[in-house]
Amino acid sequence: MKSIESLRYFIATVKQGSFSAAAEQLNVAVSSISRHVQQLEKEFNCPLLIRHTRRLSLTETGQHVYHQGIAICAQIDQLVDEIALHQQRVQGHVKISAPLWYGTHYIAPLLPALQQQWPDLTIYLNYSDEELDPYGADYDIYVRIEDYSDSSFIARPLQHIEYWTCASANYLATAAPLHQPADLEQHQLLAQHFRHISTQWYFEQTQTQTEIKTKQKIELNAAWLSSNSSLALLEAALQDGGIVLLPHHMVIAAINEKKTGTSIK
């Protein structure tokens, strides 16, 4: 067969039921459809179509060519996709820097599937809450929990993280009552350190009757402990050190681990 294109035109003609309908679908002239079908009949040295006034029907050979042609075209399309994928394959070594809790719960679980898709790709995942200089540090991707305004870098939001305030049961049993955000000012607070120490916690409340939302902020200037490690703050809170604001995923994991008697590492 000189051209797979003629086979595709023939298949389109059979599916559409006429030369004109096939020409409209393929956005070509009717004469082009007719010429390709004739070329295919010439190569097989037998008629493939029985041409009636208002419709077309297949000869016995035409039926065989039609069904086999569909399979052949599908295989060729698959081959083209595989070659394109091979030419665009991802390979090399990628270095990622991410906070420990985020890298553990949100990045690491995705890496095995990525490796299966791109087996020539190797990854180094560095857990660090330290402030890093993207100009000097040797990383390709930085994941940070902060707003980054440097116009020389491409920054994209990954996902919204819900934060919960939490404390140990022993701490809450002996501390001042806690009913609303303003009561936090009477408690021991633990501050998360990103690029800078977080100096406020923000809370949004919705009035049940009016549906009006109000915002309230709590100052963290008096926080007795601050750290760039959310795991360190979690451990301090578990040891009755006070109240901390942490990603809900981490809090749930800590609760589940304590229920099963495992330790948090």
Q: Dihedral of the CA atoms 99, 225, 131, 160 (nearest 10)?
A: 40
Confidence of residue 51 (pLDDT cuts 50, 70, 90): confident
Residue of 145 and 177 predicted with greater confidence: 177
Confidence of residue 132 (pLDDT cuts 50, 70, 90): low
Beta bridge partners of 124: 95
Element (H, E) at 252: helix 248-259
The answer to whether residues 230 and 100 touch, using CB atoms and an 8 Å cutoff, is yes
Q: What is the mean pLDDT of the chain?
A: 81
What tokens does 34 get? Answer: 């007719």
The answer to whether residues 233 and 189 touch, using CB atoms and an 8 Å cutoff, is no
Residue of 106 and 150 predicted with greater confidence: 106
Length of the chain: 265
Q: Between vectors from CA 169 to CA 230 and to CA 100, what angle results, nearest 5°?
A: 15
Backbone angles phi, psi at 259, to 5 degrees: -65, -35
What tokens does 190 get? Answer: 């633990």
What tokens does 84 get? Answer: 């394109």
Q: Dihedral of the CA atoms 204, 207, 213, 216 (nearest 10)?
A: -40
Q: What is the pTM (predicted TM-score) of this model?
A: 0.50
pLDDT at 13 over 60: yes
The answer to whether residues 85 and 95 touch, using CB atoms and an 8 Å cutoff, is no
pLDDT at 53 over 70: no
pLDDT at 260 over 60: no
Residue of 157 and 183 predicted with greater confidence: 183
pLDDT at 240 over 90: yes
Neighbours of 98 (CB within 10 A): 23
User: Considering all CA atoms of the chain, what is the largest pairwise distance in Å, rounded to the nearest integer?
Assistant: 96
- Work out the percent of the chain whose per-residue pLDDT is above 90: 23
Residue of 6 and 153 predicted with greater confidence: 6
What was the pLDDT predicted at 262?
40
Neighbours of 117 (CB within 10 A): 11
What number is the average pLDDT over the span 215-239? 84
pLDDT at 223 over 90: no
- Provide the CA 55 distance to its chain's centre, in angstroms: 50
Distance in angstroms (rounded) separating the CA atoms of residues 258 and 255: 5
Beta bridge partners of 101: none
What number is the average pLDDT over the span 87-112? 83
What was the pLDDT predicted at 263?
37
The answer to whether residues 49 and 55 touch, using CB atoms and an 8 Å cutoff, is no
